[in-house]
Amino acid sequence: MQNISFETKAINVELLDETIRASLGERIFGISQSEQEIMVHLSDEANARDVAQVREIFEAHDATHLTNRQQEQQNNRLTLTQLREENSGLFDLSTVGNERGPIREMAKRLAQLELEVMEMRGELGSPSFSD
């Protein structure tokens, strides 16, 4: 195994790994990071050109860029934040009116799930008991 050491800087490990992996394929084992250095671990099959390419990729790396997966996660978090703001109150079962059958059952389950999530997030408070 070959290790290429770099001075510590802000990196997006997932993006850096993805970029190097796209270039070197199976010749990269991974990336490790400590307070003192960033280490790229290559297989013994990696040649001088591969090492130079890793150095080039590392120098050009912009930690503010995201992988597609990270961008999707960020978009999902933003969507969730927006939906939370738009739907800040509890689901009102009266909005289903006189509906019966499956629609009413789905509405009841939705209301229950909303309360379950709120409980898991600690938003319902502790039950108080009196003797």
Q: What's the 3-state SS for 30-90? A: EEEECCCEEEEEECCCCCHHHHHHHHHHHHHCCCCCCCHHHHHHHHHHHHHHHHHHHCCCC
Residues 53 and 104 in one domain: no
Domain residue limits at 114: 89-123
Residues 43 and 100 in one domain: no
Q: How far apart are CA 28 and CA 5, in angstroms?
A: 14
Task: Point out which residues pair with 3 in neighbouring strands.
Answer: 41
Residues 65 and 119 in one domain: no
Residues 105 and 93 in one domain: yes
Residues 56 and 104 in one domain: no
- Identify the residue with better confidence: 130 or 79: 79
Looking up residue 69, the CATH number of its domain turns out to be: 3.30.1360
**Domain-embedded: residue 6:** yes
In one-letter notation, the amino acid at residue 78 is L
**Average pLDDT of the residues in 79-104:** 82
Residues 35 and 80 in one domain: yes
* pLDDT tens readout for residues 23-70: 999 999 999 999 999 999 999 999 999 999 999 999 999 999 999 999
Residues 76 and 119 in one domain: no
**Domain-embedded: residue 41:** yes
User: How many structural domains compose the chain?
Assistant: 2
**Domain-embedded: residue 53:** yes
